[in-house]
Amino acid sequence: MPSKSPTFDDLLAGAKRSAVHLEMRDTYYSNPRFEAWREGHRVDWNDRASWWSPFHENIADAVARGVTVRRARVVSEPVTEYIRWEHNVTHANVTAGEQVRWLPRRNASDLLLPGNDFWVFDDTVVKIHHFSGNGDSIEDEILSDPKLIGLCVSGFERIWERAIPHDQYEIR
Protein backbone atom coordinates (compact mmCIF):
# COMPACT_ATOMS: atom_id res chain seq x y z
CA MET A 1 0.00 0.00 0.00
CA PRO A 2 1.41 3.42 -0.95
CA SER A 3 2.47 5.79 1.79
CA LYS A 4 2.86 9.57 1.75
CA SER A 5 5.55 9.62 4.46
CA PRO A 6 8.45 9.88 5.17
CA THR A 7 9.51 12.93 3.18
CA PHE A 8 12.31 13.00 0.63
CA ASP A 9 14.47 14.86 3.17
CA ASP A 10 13.82 12.10 5.72
CA LEU A 11 14.70 9.37 3.21
CA LEU A 12 17.91 11.10 2.16
CA ALA A 13 18.89 11.83 5.77
CA GLY A 14 18.38 8.15 6.60
CA ALA A 15 20.41 6.87 3.64
CA LYS A 16 23.64 5.19 4.61
CA ARG A 17 25.10 4.00 1.29
CA SER A 18 23.27 5.17 -1.81
CA ALA A 19 20.56 7.31 -3.34
CA VAL A 20 19.85 6.98 -7.05
CA HIS A 21 17.47 9.09 -9.09
CA LEU A 22 16.11 8.35 -12.57
CA GLU A 23 14.48 11.08 -14.65
CA MET A 24 12.92 10.23 -18.01
CA ARG A 25 10.70 13.19 -18.93
CA ASP A 26 11.63 15.90 -21.41
CA THR A 27 9.50 18.49 -19.65
CA TYR A 28 8.59 18.92 -16.02
CA TYR A 29 6.33 21.40 -14.31
CA SER A 30 7.42 24.97 -14.75
CA ASN A 31 9.02 26.86 -11.91
CA PRO A 32 10.21 30.42 -11.33
CA ARG A 33 13.89 29.60 -11.97
CA PHE A 34 13.05 28.06 -15.36
CA GLU A 35 10.81 31.00 -16.27
CA ALA A 36 13.57 33.45 -15.32
CA TRP A 37 16.03 31.50 -17.48
CA ARG A 38 13.58 31.63 -20.39
CA GLU A 39 13.52 35.42 -19.98
CA GLY A 40 17.31 35.56 -20.27
CA HIS A 41 18.36 35.55 -16.62
CA ARG A 42 21.41 33.38 -15.96
CA VAL A 43 22.78 31.97 -12.73
CA ASP A 44 25.85 33.73 -11.38
CA TRP A 45 27.81 30.65 -10.32
CA ASN A 46 30.22 32.91 -8.41
CA ASP A 47 27.34 34.03 -6.14
CA ARG A 48 26.67 30.74 -4.36
CA ALA A 49 24.10 32.29 -2.02
CA SER A 50 21.90 33.03 -5.04
CA TRP A 51 21.58 29.39 -6.12
CA TRP A 52 22.55 27.10 -3.22
CA SER A 53 19.35 25.70 -1.72
CA PRO A 54 18.32 23.42 1.16
CA PHE A 55 18.12 20.60 -1.41
CA HIS A 56 21.77 21.10 -2.35
CA GLU A 57 22.74 21.28 1.31
CA ASN A 58 20.95 17.98 2.01
CA ILE A 59 22.74 16.32 -0.92
CA ALA A 60 26.10 17.69 0.27
CA ASP A 61 25.40 16.43 3.81
CA ALA A 62 24.55 12.96 2.51
CA VAL A 63 27.68 12.82 0.37
CA ALA A 64 29.77 13.97 3.34
CA ARG A 65 28.33 11.01 5.32
CA GLY A 66 29.55 8.66 2.59
CA VAL A 67 26.31 8.28 0.64
CA THR A 68 26.84 7.97 -3.11
CA VAL A 69 24.20 10.09 -4.86
CA ARG A 70 23.67 9.44 -8.57
CA ARG A 71 21.18 10.88 -11.04
CA ALA A 72 20.57 9.60 -14.58
CA ARG A 73 18.50 11.44 -17.14
CA VAL A 74 17.09 9.85 -20.28
CA VAL A 75 16.45 12.64 -22.80
CA SER A 76 15.16 13.07 -26.33
CA GLU A 77 17.37 14.88 -28.82
CA PRO A 78 17.22 17.55 -29.89
CA VAL A 79 16.51 18.43 -26.27
CA THR A 80 13.57 20.49 -25.08
CA GLU A 81 14.04 23.98 -23.73
CA TYR A 82 13.44 22.59 -20.26
CA ILE A 83 16.25 20.02 -20.62
CA ARG A 84 18.56 22.73 -21.98
CA TRP A 85 17.90 24.74 -18.81
CA GLU A 86 18.21 21.65 -16.61
CA HIS A 87 21.60 20.86 -18.14
CA ASN A 88 22.76 24.36 -17.26
CA VAL A 89 21.60 24.29 -13.64
CA THR A 90 22.96 20.77 -13.05
CA HIS A 91 26.17 22.58 -12.11
CA ALA A 92 24.55 23.06 -8.69
CA ASN A 93 23.82 19.33 -8.30
CA VAL A 94 27.39 18.43 -9.22
CA THR A 95 28.75 21.06 -6.84
CA ALA A 96 26.65 19.47 -4.07
CA GLY A 97 28.29 16.11 -4.80
CA GLU A 98 25.80 14.37 -7.07
CA GLN A 99 27.13 12.32 -9.93
CA VAL A 100 24.96 13.04 -12.98
CA ARG A 101 24.80 11.29 -16.34
CA TRP A 102 22.71 11.79 -19.48
CA LEU A 103 21.46 9.10 -21.85
CA PRO A 104 20.08 10.14 -25.24
CA ARG A 105 16.78 8.28 -25.66
CA ARG A 106 17.91 6.93 -29.05
CA ASN A 107 20.60 4.96 -27.15
CA ALA A 108 18.05 3.36 -24.84
CA SER A 109 15.89 1.50 -27.36
CA ASP A 110 17.13 -1.91 -26.29
CA LEU A 111 16.67 -1.21 -22.56
CA LEU A 112 13.54 -1.97 -20.58
CA LEU A 113 12.88 1.29 -18.79
CA PRO A 114 10.75 1.80 -15.69
CA GLY A 115 7.45 3.57 -16.30
CA ASN A 116 8.08 6.42 -13.88
CA ASP A 117 10.81 8.60 -12.46
CA PHE A 118 12.03 7.47 -9.04
CA TRP A 119 14.53 7.67 -6.22
CA VAL A 120 15.87 4.50 -4.56
CA PHE A 121 17.54 4.78 -1.14
CA ASP A 122 19.98 2.07 0.03
CA ASP A 123 18.23 -0.47 -2.23
CA THR A 124 15.48 -0.73 0.41
CA VAL A 125 12.89 1.93 -0.41
CA VAL A 126 11.72 3.53 -3.64
CA LYS A 127 9.98 6.86 -4.07
CA ILE A 128 8.00 6.76 -7.33
CA HIS A 129 7.02 10.08 -8.93
CA HIS A 130 3.77 10.39 -10.89
CA PHE A 131 3.35 13.29 -13.32
CA SER A 132 0.59 14.55 -15.58
CA GLY A 133 1.15 14.80 -19.32
CA ASN A 134 2.30 18.42 -19.03
CA GLY A 135 4.81 17.56 -16.31
CA ASP A 136 2.88 18.64 -13.23
CA SER A 137 3.61 16.50 -10.20
CA ILE A 138 0.50 14.52 -9.24
CA GLU A 139 1.69 12.36 -6.36
CA ASP A 140 4.57 10.29 -5.02
CA GLU A 141 4.46 6.76 -3.67
CA ILE A 142 6.94 5.38 -1.17
CA LEU A 143 7.21 1.61 -1.45
CA SER A 144 9.42 -1.11 -0.02
CA ASP A 145 8.53 -4.04 -2.28
CA PRO A 146 11.88 -5.83 -2.90
CA LYS A 147 10.86 -6.99 -6.38
CA LEU A 148 9.93 -3.45 -7.49
CA ILE A 149 13.09 -2.03 -5.95
CA GLY A 150 15.16 -4.67 -7.73
CA LEU A 151 13.58 -3.75 -11.07
CA CYS A 152 14.21 -0.04 -10.47
CA VAL A 153 17.81 -0.57 -9.40
CA SER A 154 18.48 -2.91 -12.32
CA GLY A 155 16.98 -0.42 -14.79
CA PHE A 156 18.94 2.44 -13.29
CA GLU A 157 22.23 0.54 -13.45
CA ARG A 158 21.74 -0.39 -17.13
CA ILE A 159 21.05 3.27 -17.91
CA TRP A 160 23.97 4.46 -15.77
CA GLU A 161 26.45 2.18 -17.54
CA ARG A 162 25.49 3.58 -20.93
CA ALA A 163 24.92 7.23 -19.98
CA ILE A 164 27.35 10.09 -20.55
CA PRO A 165 28.87 11.92 -17.56
CA HIS A 166 27.50 15.45 -17.17
CA ASP A 167 30.79 17.17 -17.96
CA GLN A 168 31.03 15.25 -21.25
CA TYR A 169 27.42 15.47 -22.42
CA GLU A 170 26.87 18.07 -25.11
CA ILE A 171 23.37 19.45 -25.56
CA ARG A 172 21.96 18.77 -29.04
Domains in the chain with CATH codes: 8-168 (3.30.870.10)
pLDDT digits (tens, 9 = 90+) for 42-90: 999 999 999 999 999 999 999 999 999 999 999 999 999 999 999 999 9
3-state secondary structure of 111: coil
Name the DSSP class of 66.
T
Res. 167: pLDDT tops 60: yes
- State pTM to two decimals: 0.95
Among residues 109, 108, 91, the alpha carbon closest in space to that of 100 is found at 91
